[in-house]
Structure 1
């Protein structure tokens, strides 16, 4: 594992390491002798911060243990001048192995664990991770990235009055696989403090948002507290306020619900409780999984070059191709074709072996050269080049990723869609046009921000389950054609909400203008957080 993607080595900026270290040492100052462990020392940012902290004189002794499997990195860290008050032990080994032979308990478990997806781990590390999670009775589902094993290990390494301080990906707050981790943390810590940041702390990590988690095994002021840091200046100067949302903390809700105040959360929930959810109105299924869109979804030139006309079906590959409308028609599809965009799915399912022409054989050979037959999904097929589960054409599709707002599109062009979207079929008794109209209101879109998760660049993503639980104030649209035109001509989604919020939210719920404006302000606040405005 010789690159950052495989090693997960995104080193902590010096200023952030200094601030986190000082924050912790101040809160440990009541103890005469402390012990600290950093499980992934990397380039030694936290080691340096501890050694240089102005708070070290508060302790009689500081025992510091550092672990790092990369020999070059730990040797670099060991060159850092140490305060004489520190007794250092260093271990050049894999922390997941170190976990099982270290029986010590520490005052502080501190650091920035590596970020490596499960798919990039070898079997040995997967098994070690499983064993660590199993110690706390967690399932394999909670292992999707190596950083979770460091969190679980840290919980077991703390003394009865110990602290944990870890810089973690935003995934901790917002994804399903970390739900067990969140429940473990709530059970193990009397108090937790969660810091989110407006500023990116790791510029080289493809826009990965991070959080600072502080956990206290014992604390006189118990609970889960959340705060957002506009800049590191605010953290340094104490210019922030903790919010405590008991309704979220005591439930299985995502911790991203802490992005709004307890009063705002209770306000939204009181309205949501009066509404049916997306799942009440429709069924959604994943789009087509090709396993290699660049090969199986082609443009007009490729169709012509390899004479593929008998084996193509129109398809929308991604939300970027549908622009800003709420419908996708024949003209829209033809514009993709004329623009030489990939708009045709290669459906070789009807093709018999004796129908493979020389041109098609040449094209398939290019796929073999790309090693597609050995890909996981292609290997599951009877013939690697026959995309399976090309189902019926959906009435509409919802794209799971969005930037300004989620895209729900009526399929007037009768095209297929890839797994970048969910296929939509209405349940009897509900009309598609009414649902699309009703979906675009500030309340539903605010919950899309709360229930979804966001990634680098401010991209919002909703899983099928997250989409299904959005509240929708279902309202009849008396003139959908007019609405469709206005939507297509908007400058931003704000124009649509300004025009229709009252009709939808007052008409279905009787909300006042003041209440509707409050919902919209919360929505804007959430979007600003996601997009770092």
Structure 2
């Protein structure tokens, strides 16, 4: 089983369940004469659905069905299985299933003017380092010709998606199973822009329960229409689980609201909202009276120690190794930051709880120049192999942790309910589980910290951050610097009051205070608009947290 799983991971193939292949194929194939392409057919799950759909459309001629199918598979053994599967249905597989590299076929199809009315599939999920150079080079060339600039973060499913799009007829349809990363990751930003420009209508079907639970990979069904039947826009349909597709008629999609497409690379999490909610967000996103967080503060990663278990110690470990004179205060977990102010009292409490609060902080000098007690501790680390870790071995002196500066505040990198800024009165640094914040000149940290917790900023945090599973929202520094931040009226806020409320998780009371001061009095929003922004935040937060 292990060797089979390793092979699957290497080629990026996790084959598609029948409810999904049936639904996508029925949606994509609208007539018995439609030609259909599958760029990575695996062992043939989609092929069975194709044969079934053609017959439902009134096509019984098996030779003709074979001529209208083009299924490509790189792995010879999987291609053989796909051929046998089609033959078992009485359909000649000789010309229908082809063993080879999709991108080579794609190049020939593009140059030869070959196009398809329907394209379906589940592109392989192969990261850059496992994407064979000869195939990657051609795949990236095709992407570049389409106006995109792939890089080392580009996963194989992206060029499969782009190249397939180029092979559709003017009224063609493409239905693909793709990672939910399409919604939110940076490397898919150009893909989002390409899709919104290339297609008139996009439908995305998501599931609350994982389809591929064995790999913990959230996927969505991406349905793209070049013509759109005189309509344009995007819709998101959320189902409880994959099995719900069996009772869902593809024709019913036309009854679901289409939202105007935002022809930018912005994340698509916003499309879980109604058209009115999206319009409200866009209205206030560019309001001249609203700052962007990056105008007010700089966000950087925390300290990268190389191995927190060795470099971050609790009080007992410091005493045992006599390292008190060689440490600096550090926060190692976001859970150790309870309110929005990290006080001296909080610090003393963390120390008393035996949290890892002391960072080994040494002069950048060779081993021989370190204190005796430090040398003993370094030797103990080498016996454990700490110095062989990547982050340690690339340092001149492996035991000297770089970039140990103390920030004005902290910002959570991974969020459960809501993001926040935490003032650093304790003068500690932090590991890279938390971001470090410096306030720019002219901005008072306490006011910014208090103002950050408002319904507008929290709503945008849900469409700016990324959620990979387990309900956690993750922010890179650049994302933390791109949030809208209303500050007019922040002088009326009491950061100590907000700190106390947050410590008891009374976020709704905080939002009543901050929304009144910042959004209603400061910006002139109607109370209904402020409440609508809060509803948007709750809707997106609850959806994220309740996935499973």
Under TM normalisation by the shorter chain, which class is it?
Answer: 0.7 to 0.9
| Residue in structure 1 matched with residue 425 of structure 2 by the alignment | 412
| Residue in structure 2 matched with residue 518 of structure 1 by the alignment | 532
Q: 1:236 aligns with which of 231, 248, 251?
A: 248
**Aligned-pair distance for 1:147?**
1.0
| Residue in structure 2 matched with residue 34 of structure 1 by the alignment | 34
Distance 1:134 1:327, change over 3 A: same
| Residue in structure 1 matched with residue 511 of structure 2 by the alignment | 497
| Residue in structure 2 matched with residue 387 of structure 1 by the alignment | 401
Q: 1:154 aligns with which of 153, 164, 183?
A: 164
Residue 191 of structure 2 aligns to a residue in which SS? helix
The aligned runs of 1:159-238 (5 Å cut-off) are 159-206=169-216, 208-231=217-240, 232=242, 233=244, 236-237=248-249
**Aligned-pair distance for 1:124?**
4.6
Runs of at least 5 residues in structure 1 that lack an aligned partner in the other structure: none
Residue 126 of structure 2 aligns to a residue in which SS? coil
Distance 1:303 1:133, change over 3 A: farther
**Aligned-pair distance for 1:150?**
0.8
| Residue in structure 1 matched with residue 141 of structure 2 by the alignment | 131
**Aligned-pair distance for 1:162?**
2.8
**Aligned-pair distance for 1:96?**
4.5
**Aligned-pair distance for 1:354?**
0.8
| Residue in structure 2 matched with residue 285 of structure 1 by the alignment | 300
Separation (CA, whole Å) in 2 of partners of 1:310 and 1:124 = 56
| Residue in structure 1 matched with residue 471 of structure 2 by the alignment | 458
| Residue in structure 2 matched with residue 55 of structure 1 by the alignment | 56
Separation (CA, whole Å) in 1 of partners of 2:96 and 2:392 = 49
Residue 9 of structure 1 aligns to a residue in which SS? coil
**Structure 1, residues 153-204: CA drift from partner, whole Å, max 9, x if none?**
2123333443221111122122222222222223433333233333332222
**More divergent stretch after superposition (161-170 vs 340-349):** 340-349
Separation (CA, whole Å) in 1 of partners of 2:469 and 2:82 = 30
- Asked if 1 retains the 8 angstrom alpha-carbon contact of 2:192 and 2:264, the reply is no
With structure 1 as the length reference, what TM-score do the two structures score? 0.87
The aligned runs of 1:407-446 (5 Å cut-off) are 407-446=420-459
Separation (CA, whole Å) in 2 of partners of 1:296 and 1:370 = 11
**Structure 1, residues 134-163: CA drift from partner, whole Å, max 9, x if none?**
232321348521111211221233334432
- Asked if 2 retains the 8 angstrom alpha-carbon contact of 1:284 and 1:423, the reply is yes
Q: 1:258 aligns with which of 271, 280, 286?
A: 271
**Aligned-pair distance for 1:295?**
4.3
**Aligned-pair distance for 1:488?**
0.8
Separation (CA, whole Å) in 2 of partners of 1:471 and 1:220 = 37
**Aligned-pair distance for 1:265?**
1.6
Distance 1:302 1:6, change over 3 A: farther
Distance 1:502 1:345, change over 3 A: same
**Structure 1, residues 294-348: CA drift from partner, whole Å, max 9, x if none?**
44434455545655444432222232332x4112233434444444443333334
Distance 1:73 1:359, change over 3 A: farther
